[in-house]
Structure 1
């Protein structure tokens, strides 16, 4: 029994000592916070929380110190943790209010609106939170309008690009057709001109008289035909190889 009493006394002494240290760090942190020395205030609040991290005042003020250093993501996580660890409506209202501020500063407008609404559920008479909610909702409405206008502009630009591409393709095709018609006309004119200059033109269907071709001429013609055939085969072979406004945080 005596041993049990001694153990209880030691535990109580440790708890009292920790509580005293906790309050000491919080007081020091508050002094530094008022001096706008937010970094050192943060360190003291962390020391007040300790390893267990159960003290509400230390955790809350730690979130405020983070917020003042523009560490909005870290502050948001801190206030989220506080809200999840308590059922006290006053604490919940303040934690969600500051969470809304952190989200708003991070440009997370939908999340800030949600946080402010949760704050008002726990304290419907808080006009400061109500003001911040209206502010966040207005900002969100403006953003949604801007996003809508941006999407409409992108769609218009896309349709314009498609139309420009269509017009370009049509112009290219018309140019190809014009070039083709011009080539056909030039070929026809060349053919007509050749026919006019051809001395054998209009001589009817006269066939050459084989009796007028000498033996040497016949051999040269045969050799020329063989060379033309060989060149044609070489070309075919080569082708096959190549392939084709807002209020700041609430204090504890």
Structure 2
């Protein structure tokens, strides 16, 4: 019985070992295949055949994502074509799958380059820092980091100024709105004060309306005139009417006299042209 159990255990162990060996063999084959695809892609890049090179790099990634060269070189291909979004994705993929410091350094360095093209300077600073953590002696990365820092500082200064201008514009707009509100509040009061002032101008010191007082004066004056003179009887002219009539007759007579004198002067004019 013990021999039987031992035999079964050895059989299972053998099968497991064989399966692991098969898996390792498959992994090695996939790695070799991926490397071959990368090699073919590199050859096509040298021949400026970017389309087919992209296809080979994609095959390499599909066969073995751990082969960082596939993602890395594909990212470089997209970078050269100006497709920075896809280039960033592939270099990030390479940085994630990288196992050595040199691979991580190269991936992060290129991520920084892509971010600088996208004018994401603050993010580029962090990418270059990650690259230097894996290779502190790379002078090119240090130089790019200095440029990225300067760019990030300038962008921050411009952003702060823009925010300040927005705050000033908002403050000015609020002031305008406050003035409008104040004007709306003041207008009814001013109108009421003006109406009150106009009303006071229409009254005298006794508090009565001026028009009414003047009308009262006119009435009194008319009554006084009528009281000082005898009222005309029906069918008779008043003394004032007689006076006005005499003055009109004199004026008419004077006009007639002036017209006759003018005719006399006209008749004495010397003619210079002969009549036919």
TM bracket (short chain): 0.5 to 0.7
* Distance in 1 (alpha carbons) for counterparts of 2:76 and 2:94: 12
How many residue pairs match? The answer is: 201
* Distance in 1 (alpha carbons) for counterparts of 2:77 and 2:155: 29
Greater alpha carbon shift after TM alignment, 150-159 vs 120-129: 150-159
Alignment of 1:18-33 (within 5 A): 18-19=30-31, 21-33=33-45
Q: Is the 8 A contact 2:34 2:64 kept in 1?
A: no
Q: Report the counterpart of residue 211 of structure 2 in structure 1.
A: 193
* Distance in 1 (alpha carbons) for counterparts of 2:181 and 2:98: 67
Q: Report the counterpart of residue 227 of structure 1 in structure 2.
A: none
* CA deviation vs aligned residue, 1:185-208 (integer Å, no higher than 9, x gap): 334445642454369x9xxxxxxx
Q: Report the counterpart of residue 110 of structure 1 in structure 2.
A: 122
Q: CA deviation at 1:176?
A: 3.7
**Unmatched segments (≥5 aa) in structure 2:** 1-14, 204-209, 220-276
Q: Report the counterpart of residue 55 of structure 1 in structure 2.
A: 67
Please say if 1:78 is aligned against 2:84. no
Q: Is the 8 A contact 2:202 2:211 kept in 1?
A: yes
* Distance in 2 (alpha carbons) for counterparts of 1:32 and 1:70: 18
Greater alpha carbon shift after TM alignment, 92-101 vs 153-162: 153-162
Q: CA deviation at 1:100?
A: 1.2
Q: Cα gap change, 1:90/1:17 in structure 2, threshold over 3 Å: closer, same or farther?
A: closer
Q: Is the 8 A contact 1:39 1:65 kept in 2?
A: no
Please say if 1:100 is aligned against 2:118. no
Q: CA deviation at 1:135?
A: 0.9
Q: Which has the larger radius of gyration?
A: 2
Greater alpha carbon shift after TM alignment, 163-172 vs 8-17: 8-17
Q: Report the counterpart of residue 179 of structure 1 in structure 2.
A: 191
Q: Is the 8 A contact 2:38 2:70 kept in 1?
A: yes
Q: Is the 8 A contact 1:99 1:112 kept in 2?
A: yes
Q: Is the 8 A contact 2:79 2:87 kept in 1?
A: yes
Q: Is the 8 A contact 2:125 2:148 kept in 1?
A: yes
Q: Report the counterpart of residue 138 of structure 1 in structure 2.
A: 150
1:159 aligned to which of 171, 180, 185: 171
Over the aligned positions, Cα root-mean-square deviation in angstroms equals: 3.5
Q: Is the 8 A contact 2:34 2:63 kept in 1?
A: no
Q: Cα gap change, 1:43/1:127 in structure 2, threshold over 3 Å: closer, same or farther?
A: same
Q: CA deviation at 1:28?
A: 2.6
Give SS of 2:119's match. Answer: coil
**Unmatched segments (≥5 aa) in structure 1:** 202-252
Q: Cα gap change, 1:158/1:10 in structure 2, threshold over 3 Å: closer, same or farther?
A: closer
Q: CA deviation at 1:6?
A: 9.8
TM-score, normalised to structure 2, is 0.60
Please say if 1:65 is aligned against 2:83. no
* Distance in 2 (alpha carbons) for counterparts of 1:13 and 1:158: 69
Q: Is the 8 A contact 2:66 2:98 kept in 1?
A: no
Please say if 1:40 is aligned against 2:58. no
Q: Cα gap change, 1:156/1:5 in structure 2, threshold over 3 Å: closer, same or farther?
A: closer
Q: CA deviation at 1:25?
A: 2.3
